[in-house]
Amino acid sequence: MVRKPEIEGPLRIEIDSILQRSGKAYQENNLELSLKLGIEAWNIIPDPKSHWDYYPQSLSTSFVEDFSRLGKVSETKKWINTVYEMYGDPDRQDHYTLMIEGSALYKLGLKEEAYDVFGRIYELYDRDGFKGEHLEYLEFYLKERAKRRG
């Protein structure tokens, strides 16, 4: 697997500076400002963003988590699609990206959509796809599947 290039030099310093302010806002429970600053950092990453390592993957994942915490469905879904693009997973087969999507949808209360994503994880990874902190999603999926099968 060919590693993507990293952003270097003055641009990296500028992104890091913005993200430090974003992190401070997050620690102060100002999620809206944190997101605004995160988006500012995102916007200065050169296109195509999927060409670069680290920042596009990290930021898009954080945006999914943050927008889902705020209950913003359309923004969350937009960034879920971006996560798949940034991680180079157009076929939606990678455990990490699938779990990001499933957990965000679940937290948003979109249980039907989350069920479908967890079903995909189960199909690809069986119970191993739900180890550790993801066990609650396995329990949800199996209970829901049992109900549907009658």
CATH of region 45-149, choose from 1.10.10, 3.30.980, 1.25.40, 3.90.220: 1.25.40
Token pair for 116: 């479908």
The percentage of residues in the chain with a pLDDT greater than 90, rounded to a whole number, is: 97
Q: How many CB atoms lie within 10 A of CB 32?
A: 10
Q: Is the pLDDT of residue 1 over 80?
A: no
Task: Please tell me the number of Cα atoms within 13 Å of 111 on its side-chain side.
Answer: 11
Contact status, residue 83 vs residue 60, Cβ threshold 8 Å: yes
pLDDT of residue 102: 98
Q: What is the distance between the alpha carbons of residues 16 and 131, in angstroms, rounded to a whole number?
A: 33
The mean predicted confidence, pLDDT, of the chain is 96
Q: How many CB atoms lie within 10 A of CB 86?
A: 25
pLDDT of residue 150: 85
Closest C-alpha to 51, from 85, 76, 81: 85
Q: Is the pLDDT of residue 138 over 80?
A: yes
- pLDDT, tens digit, 9 for 90 and up, residues 73-120: 999 999 999 999 999 999 999 999 999 999 999 999 999 999 999 999
Sequence spans of domains, the chain: 45-149
Helix (H) or strand (E) holding 20: helix 9-27
131 pLDDT band (50/70/90 cuts)?
very high
pLDDT of residue 74: 98
- pLDDT, tens digit, 9 for 90 and up, residues 115-128: 999 999 999 999 99
- pLDDT, tens digit, 9 for 90 and up, residues 5-30: 999 999 999 999 999 999 999 999 99
Q: Is the pLDDT of residue 52 over 60?
A: yes
Q: How many CB atoms lie within 10 A of CB 79?
A: 26
